[in-house]
Each structure stands twice: as structure tokens, then as C-alpha cells.
Amino acid sequence: MRGLRTYLETLGYLRPIQVAARLRRGVTRAWPGPPSTGVTLRGFVGVPPVTEVAAWSESGFSFLNSRIPFAGNCRWDPPEASRLWVYNLHYFRYLWSMPPAEAVRLIEDWINLNPPGSRPGWEPYPIALRLREWSDWTVSQRGLDRRVRDRVASSLDQQLAHLLDQVEYEHLANHLLEDAIGLCWAGLRLSSPTAVVALGRGAGLLQECLDEQLLGDGCHDERSPMYQASIAESLLRLSNVAADVDAGPAGLEIGTLAARAAVRLAESLSALVHPDGEIALLNDSALGVAPRPADLLRSAGLETVPRPGLRFLGDAGYASWRGGEGTFLVLDCGEIGPAHNTAHSHADMLSFEMSHRGVRVFTDTGVHTYDPGPVRSYDRSTRAHNTLEVDGLSQADLWAAFRCGRRGSILGASAHGRDGGFELMGSVEYPGKGLGTVRHERRIRGNGQRIEFEDLCHADGRHSAVLRLHVAPGFEVRDSGEKGIELLRGGETLMSVTGPAWQVSESPYHPRYGVEHLRPCLSTSWEFMDSTRVRWALEALSLSPLRERAPSP
């Protein structure tokens, strides 16, 4: 049970517009108006997702690695499904992989069984995403019956009007940006008075969202590679829709704005990609949800192979180094997220991920679920990341599924090339016991063969500390005495970990929603008075590629 102080601390970070929107949403509820008539769809070429979503089969739908039958009166809101699973069902991204007759049947079934204003189908976020799939899939079907096309257009216009009444100012962040994209998209595709209003409002809102959420280094403000990839895809598709529809200066402005933002998001994302081609699992990120970075980069007309060397995304707070022979390291040295919305933030400051010889060696935990409970709490906690934990406390007071009270802040960060290698630094301060604070500074120096870490910590009084290194599944861990801990894969030693005495245990790993693996976890713990310093190193014992590269889980 959370106390009043936690609630007040959490509320203290919200913006007035968020508080006002939450209060308004709690007092009044928007209801859709009647269906429109005479609405038509514009354009000639439907724009499919960058990555096809094949979630449907005759036995049901599969989202988040969970298959649920599509049957019964509750088929659009099955009681055994999580809220995120149901949202995916209502997004309709899977339309493009379905036989056209089945797709039409499903759209009409949704219209019949989801009356205007019902939840979750008529909530703003599902509407914002569904508008895109219905409109562009319908445009792409040349032989579609006129009656079906008119019914889809009429429902889309009604949904668009409802979205206009529910724009998510209570969330801001990616929800508001996706709302803006949905308004622009439907405003371009539909020919109706509602669409004219949506196009004007959407264009202004899109500009406002990108001005705030697109950081100077090209990253998205929420600092999740998964959400950044999803937003880049949405903007790429929106730019293509604008090119397909003659909407005058407003359409040209939207298309140009979306294309430029998508390119910046995709390019900065390339600094957060492991040699296996997948994103680093920073904050709320999981594999298999957003398009693969190479597909996004290709769609944006950019080079698909990340460039080697040092990258510093100073606004987001990520520093990465890509060396030869499949070596990659990324350090999280930034804020956990935007102060007003930390829904997808983890207490992971100064954590890192690393690959060597093309496979992941040290991993963040990822995301198993958005449902509140011990698994969600663990995934977001400091102990689930490769950083220092003091007194058993997380760097931020994360609670429920998406809430955050007191949290740490970044004191400084830097990244420099050094003697053919690199030197990274991050410094943070976060709440400690009582009214005390903890200051942690991490310095990393290295090249492709040896990487040295130095952790300095200051906290007044007596404290305990635990340093954890979460090793990727599939590694064998062997204590070699003075040589340190050896990490073997397929019988070959890839790396040794030296420094203090390491204990070996196991920790859960959630690289995909609904999936859990056990992995080795190295930890060392000690007590200190006022300040402490620990040095340790990663030694690559071979730089040659693995003879048979095992896929990362």
C-alpha cells in the first residue's frame, strides 16, 4: 500500500495539462456522434507496415507470444487476455497478412460488436492506430465491394471524430504523438468535414509533439529503442500517405515534417543496435514488436549497416562503441525518461549492454508484461540491470505498472575516443535511505580486447552495495581462480571477468513479451562507510568470430 507521500511525489512531476486532462476524463466521458454519410477514401496506394504482422490464424490470434481463440461474445475483449494483448487485437495491423475476405469479415464483425464509445476498442490509442490500417488496407483493395468501402469510410469518420474529442493530453509522450499521427493520417485519407478539422489540428499537434519529443540527437524523449522504432515506422508511413494524397500545402507540410523526423529517429536508432541486428533492451523494450532497425533504415533510404566507432547521443544519454569482430557496448548515462512521463522508464542509470563476436554477452532484462505485479516491478528495478544497487533500493521509486515517485538524476556524462579505443563516463545522484542521497560515478575505458570499469559511490554513513552483471542465456560460467570468471559459449571461452570475488546465481530474462529465460548472473556485494570504489574488467580471450554463431535469444 502506497502512502500519501508517494502519490504527492508522483503527482509533483506531472504537468498542469496532464492533471487537468485526468480530472476532466474522470468527470466527463466523450461519446461518439452518429455515423457520417457520403464519406469517401482518398488516394491510390495503401501503405502497409514496414514489417508484416502475421498474428491471425483460423484458431485465433497470437500477440505477445500468447495465442487466444477468437470465439464467443467476448472475442474482442477476452477475459484471459492482458490489456496490451487486447489493444493489439484492436490495432488491426494484422489485416495485411489476411485473406481479403477474412479481413472484410473481421472489420464488419468489429463494427457490429464494438458499439460507439465502448472500451477498449473506442479508446483513443487503439483508434489512432486502427485508423491507419483500415484506411490504407481498404485503399489497397481494388476489387472491394462498394458497400463495404462505404461502411468502412463511415466508421472511420466516426472514429476520427471520437479521437478528436479524446486526444491524450493526460499521457503526452508517445500516446500524444501517435494521436497526432492518426489525426493527420485520417485527415489525409478521408474526404469529410471531420477530416478537414482533423488535418488542421493534427498538423499543428504533430509539429508540437516533434518539437518536444524529438531530441537534438535524434532520439525519442522516452528513451526506449522499441518505441523509437515504432514511431519512426509510423512517421515513415505517414510521409508516404501524404505523397499519395493531393491535400495541398497542408499535406506537403505533413509529409515533409514526418519524413525528416523519421530519418532522424532511424539514424540515431542505429547507434543502439547489437551485431545481431536487434535493438538494445533499454527501458521498456522487447524484441519482435517494432520493425527491425535494418528494415527501418532501408525504408528511410539510409545505410543499413551501423557505422563502427564511438557514438554519443548526449540528449538521450546513450553512449555506444562498435568495434571489430562483432564487439558492441552501450552505456545508459541519461535520465530515466521525461520527468512528466516515466511510464516506460526503468531504474537503469549507468547500466550497460554488450556483445562480443556477434552475440550478446551482458543483457538488460527486457519486458515480460505491463500488468502490475512482481514481474513488472522486477523488470523495472535497479537489480534487474547491470549497475550498482545500494542498500537494496532502486534508483527510482517505481510503482504500479507505470508510475514513478522520487527518482535519480544525471550529474554528468561524456564519451571520448582514446588511443584507438574509448572512454565513457556517467555520474548520477538518486534517493537513498531516509533523506540521504547516493552518488554513483562509472568510468569505462577500453578497446576491443579489454574493457576496464571503475565504480565510485558516495553516501554518508554505513551502507551495503551489490554490483550485478546479467549474462545472456546460453553461456556457461566457470570460476578460473586468478583468471577470474570465464564465460563460455559452445565450449569456447569468449570473455573473462576479473576484479572482486564474484558469486554466480541466476536471474530472469525477458527479451520478448510473455517469454522468460533463466540466465547466469554474476554479483559481488560489500559494505562501506561514506564512500567506496571498485574496479573490474572484461577481457576478450579471442577476437575471431564464432565458428557457428548462435542466435541471440
> What is the domain-level CATH number for residue 125?
1.50.10.100
Indicate whether 551 belongs to any domain.
no
Clarify whether residues 72 and 219 are in a common domain.
Answer: yes
Clarify whether residues 253 and 173 are in a common domain.
Answer: yes
**How would residue 52 be classed by pLDDT, with cut points 50, 70 and 90?**
confident
Clarify whether residues 387 and 516 are in a common domain.
Answer: yes
Give percent above pLDDT 70 in the chain.
Answer: 97
Count of structural domains, the chain:
2
**Residue 549: per-residue pLDDT:** 43
Clarify whether residues 392 and 494 are in a common domain.
Answer: yes
Cα-based distances in Å from 309 to 38, 195, 451: 57, 47, 15
Clarify whether residues 192 and 267 are in a common domain.
Answer: yes
Tell whether the model's pLDDT for residue 542 goes beyond 80: no
**Residue 553: per-residue pLDDT:** 53
Indicate whether 546 belongs to any domain.
no
Indicate whether 86 belongs to any domain.
yes
Structural contact between residues 354 and 360, judged by C-beta atoms closer than 8 angstroms: yes
Clarify whether residues 287 and 332 are in a common domain.
Answer: no
**How would residue 302 be classed by pLDDT, with cut points 50, 70 and 90?**
very high
The model's pLDDT over 202-234, given as tens digits with 9 standing for 90+, comes to: 999 999 999 999 999 999 999 999 999 999 999
DSSP β-bridge partners for residue 329 = 321, 354
Indicate whether 404 belongs to any domain.
yes
Clarify whether residues 232 and 375 are in a common domain.
Answer: no
Cα-based distances in Å from 281 to 58, 66, 386, 396: 33, 20, 12, 19
Clarify whether residues 479 and 443 are in a common domain.
Answer: yes
Measured CA to CA, the distance from residue 185 to residue 167 in angstroms comes to 15
Structural contact between residues 379 and 365, judged by C-beta atoms closer than 8 angstroms: yes
Clarify whether residues 329 and 291 are in a common domain.
Answer: no
**Residue 551: per-residue pLDDT:** 41
Measured CA to CA, the distance from residue 487 to residue 496 in angstroms comes to 6
Query: Which of 271, 299, 327 is at the close of a domain?
Result: 299
The model's pLDDT over 154-166, given as tens digits with 9 standing for 90+, comes to: 999 999 999 999 9
> Which residue blocks in 288-388 are alpha helix, DSSP H?
293-299, 374-380
Burial class (CB in 10 A: 0-12, 13-18, 19+), 200: middle
**Residue 1: per-residue pLDDT:** 53
> Lowest mean pLDDT: which of 256-260, 281-285, 536-540?
536-540
> Lowest mean pLDDT: which of 36-40, 215-219, 457-461?
36-40
The one-letter amino acid code at 205 reads L
Indicate whether 164 belongs to any domain.
yes
**Residue 552: per-residue pLDDT:** 47
Clarify whether residues 132 and 232 are in a common domain.
Answer: yes
Burial class (CB in 10 A: 0-12, 13-18, 19+), 188: buried
Clarify whether residues 356 and 258 are in a common domain.
Answer: no
Tell whether the model's pLDDT for residue 544 goes beyond 60: no
Tell whether the model's pLDDT for residue 377 goes beyond 60: yes
Indicate whether 470 belongs to any domain.
yes
DSSP β-bridge partners for residue 507 = 519
Mode of pairing for the β-strands spanning 492-498 and 517-540: antiparallel
Instruction: Give the distance between the most distant pair of CA atoms in the chain.
Output: 79
Clarify whether residues 167 and 290 are in a common domain.
Answer: yes
**How would residue 278 be classed by pLDDT, with cut points 50, 70 and 90?**
very high
Mean pLDDT on 30-47: 89
Angle formed by the axes of helices 193-213 and 146-164, nearest 10°: 50
Give the mean pLDDT of the chain: 94
**How would residue 419 be classed by pLDDT, with cut points 50, 70 and 90?**
confident
Q: Which domain holds residue 197?
A: 4-16+47-299
The model's pLDDT over 139-191, given as tens digits with 9 standing for 90+, comes to: 999 999 999 999 999 999 999 999 999 999 999 999 999 999 999 999 999 99
Query: Which of 299, 324, 353 is at the close of a domain?
Result: 299
Query: Which of 299, 328, 355 is at the close of a domain?
Result: 299
